[in-house]
Amino acid sequence: MKPYKAVVIGSSAGGLNALKVLFGGLDEHFSLPVIIVQHISPNAENYLIHILNEFSKLKVKEADEKEMPGTGMAYLAPPNYHLLIEPDCTFTLTIGERVNYARPSIDVLFETAAEAYKDQLIGIILTGANSDGSKGLKKIRDFGGLTLVQDPETAEVDSMPRAAIQADAADRILSLEEIAVLLNGISSGGVD
């Protein structure tokens, strides 16, 4: 089985509820670092960290500049910053131009993560109201990573999942509960 090294997740409208379900379904021994871009208002308090820490067995925190993702951890892009993965797999935060009207942008995270982790990356697109993430997810797939998309029928807002599917970026289309089961299996070494 291919040893995956990280999971990247992109979500937008409806993302809080989707992330609560997904994180609530992860095992306490889930070991892969999870890196998340959730579209959020530029001046928002990062309340999502506090909420996800209540539902998650992983420790959830805001990503810091030059930080190396650790096992059993989840990292959120800070409001109004793009989160990039450097070739050495550390984080970089930038205030570059908006991409797909968003900063942080899912595509920016996914494209840089694909280059850093190659085929050892799992990319996931969840609910959302635009097409951010579809190009980045396709890049993860092109590099040989595993790409998962929330079933649009189960998404609070189906635009992002549908855009990813239309971009031919999805290896699997699953419900949130099915995504959690698959991730648990991969983390424990039992499923690919």
Three-state SS annotation for the chain: CCCCCEEEEEECCCHHHHHHHHHHCCCCCCCCCEEEEECCCCCCCCHHHHHHHHHCCCEEEECCCCCCCCCCEEEECCCCCEEEECCCCCEEEECCCCECCECCCHHHHHHHHHHHHHHHEEEEECCECCCCCHHHHHHHHHCCCEEEEECHHHCCCEHHHHHHHHCCCCCEEECHHHHHHHHHHHHCCCCC
Which of the following is catalytic: 132, 134, 158, 187?
132
Instruction: Specify whether 50 is catalytic.
Output: no
Q: Tell me whether residue 12 is one of the annotated catalytic residues.
A: yes
Question: Does residue 188 have an active-site annotation?
Answer: no
- The active-site residue out of 11, 39, 107, 134 is 39
Q: Which residues contact 51 (CB under 8 A, 6 or more apart)?
A: 16, 20
What is the set of active-site residues?
Answer: 12, 39, 132
